[in-house]
């Protein structure tokens, strides 16, 4: 087995080697903003679930309406067939 040469294309920039800056804000302020973000996310979830429920109800009503129309059409076609015969 021979030696394997690994060539890295390009160079690693100094910025990637640097440590990320520490958060300057106090932990208290950070926790407050986290709570706020959490609340907003929860509200968003509630809104989306409500939206989905409304959409489902709307689709259900649409299906029922479509079914009624189909039934009426079939009745009308039967009546027309009777009249023609």
Tens digits of per-residue pLDDT, 71-85?
999 999 999 988 887
d(CA 46, CA 55): 14
Tell me if the pTM is above 0.75. Answer: no
More confident residue, 5 or 43: 43
Work out the average pLDDT over 17-44.
70
d(CA 50, CA 62): 18
pLDDT at 66 over 80: yes
pLDDT at 37: 80
Task: Using pLDDT thresholds of 50, 70 and 90, give the confidence band for residue 10.
Answer: low
pLDDT at 64 over 90: yes
């Amino acid at each position: 087995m021979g030696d394997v040469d690994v060539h890295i294309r390009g160079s690693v920039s100094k910025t990637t080697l640097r440590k990320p800056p520490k958060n300057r804000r106090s932990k208290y302020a950070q926790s407050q903003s986290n709570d706020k973000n959490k609340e907003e996310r929860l509200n968003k979830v509630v809104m989306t679930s409500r939206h989905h429920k409304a959409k489902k109800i709307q689709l259900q009503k649409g299906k029922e309406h479509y079914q009624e129309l189909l039934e009426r059409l079939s009745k009308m076609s039967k009546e027309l067939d009777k009249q023609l015969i």
